[in-house]
Structure 1
Amino acid sequence: MLLRLSVAFIFLAHAIIRVTGGTVVRFGEYLNNKGFVYGTPLVWGVTVYEVLGGVLLAFGIFTKWLSAGFIGIITLGIVIIHLENGWFVGEHGAGGCEYSFLLIIALMVIAAADKKK
C-alpha cells in the first residue's frame, strides 16, 4: 500500500505542478516540435489521467488498468524525451530514463499485487 500511495502521489504532484506552473501549453508546444499534431490537448489528456488515475490508484481502484495506462505514458515519455539524455537523472547525467524505468517497475509491482479480477 505504501508503494501504491507513493506512486499515486508522484503522478498527482506532476499533474498539479504542470497546471499551477502553467507549463501545459509549453509542454504541448514541445510535443508539437517533436512531430505531434495536437500537443497541448495531449498534455491535457495526460494531466487529467494523472489526476484521476492518481486518485483512483491511491484508493486501489482499477489498479491494473491504471498501471497499464501509466506505463504507456511513461514509455512514451522515455522514447520522446528521456532516452536521448541517456540513463542517469541526477549526479551523472540530466534528464535520463532511470527514474522512469523505476516508476515502470513500481507500477508492475503494484499491478501484480492487486488480487482483484
Structure 2
Amino acid sequence: MRNFPYLSTATWLVIFRIGVSLLMVAHGLIRLYADTLGGFGEFLEGKGFPGGTYIAWAITLFEIVGGLVLASGFLRKLISGLFITELVFGILLVHLQNGWFVVGYSSGGIEYSVLLILCFFLIASTGRNK
C-alpha cells in the first residue's frame, strides 16, 4: 500500500530509523568537534561515576558507531535498548530537574529525551528491513 507522499509505510520506517540514528551520530560528533569530552567526563565523575572520562569516551563512540550501525539496520533491538538506557540516565542526571520543556516555558527539560525514547521503542519494534 502506498501512502502520501507515495512511499510505503515500510519505506518511511527506514527513513525514520536513519534520521533518528543520525541525530545520535550528530550528538556524538558535536562533542568531539566542540571538545567537550573532558567536561562531560568531569560532570560524570561529579555525579559519582568513577572513570568519568572513559565513560564519556565510551558514550561518545557508541553514539557515533552505534548510530551508524543502527542507521544501516543492524542490531536494532540491542542498539535501541542501549540508546534508551543512555537517554534515561540523561533524564535522571540532567534533564528531570529542568522540568518538561526543552525551550520556552522551561529550559533543558525532558521532552526531547522522552520523544527520542519513544522513537527508539518504535525502531526496536520494527521487523526486518524496516
Shorter-chain TM-score tier? over 0.9
Superposition pairs for residues 16-95 of structure 1, below 5 Å?
16-95=29-108
Displacement after TM superposition at 1:76 (Å): 0.6
Displacement after TM superposition at 1:91 (Å): 1.1
> How many angstroms apart in 2 are the aligned matches of 1:88 and 1:41?
30
Number of paired residues? 116
Per-residue Cα deviation, 1:3-59 (whole angstroms, up to 9, x for no partner): 101111111001100001100001111111112111111010001111111111110
> How many angstroms apart in 1 are the aligned matches of 2:67 and 2:124?
14
Displacement after TM superposition at 1:115 (Å): 3.7
> How many angstroms apart in 1 are the aligned matches of 2:40 and 2:122?
29
Per-residue Cα deviation, 1:49-93 (whole angstroms, up to 9, x for no partner): 111111111100001110000000111111111111111101111
Structure 2: gaps (5+ residues): 1-13
> How many angstroms apart in 2 are the aligned matches of 1:18 and 1:12?
10
Equivalent residue, structure 1, for 2:4: none
TM-score (norm 2): 0.86
| Amino acid paired to 1:6 | G
TM-score (norm 1): 0.95
Which entry has the higher C-alpha Rg, 1 or 2?
A: 2
Q: Is the 8 A contact 1:63 1:114 kept in 2?
A: no
Q: Is the 8 A contact 1:12 1:55 kept in 2?
A: yes
| Amino acid paired to 1:61 | F
Question: Percent of aligned positions with the same letter in both sequences?
Answer: 41
Please list every run of at least 4 consecutive aligned residues from structure 1 whose deviation after the TM superposition is greater than 6 angstroms.
none
Q: Is the 8 A contact 1:18 1:24 kept in 2?
A: yes
Alignment RMSD (CA, Å): 1.1
Equivalent residue, structure 1, for 2:117: 104
State which of 26, 42, 58 in structure 2 corresponds to 1:13. 26
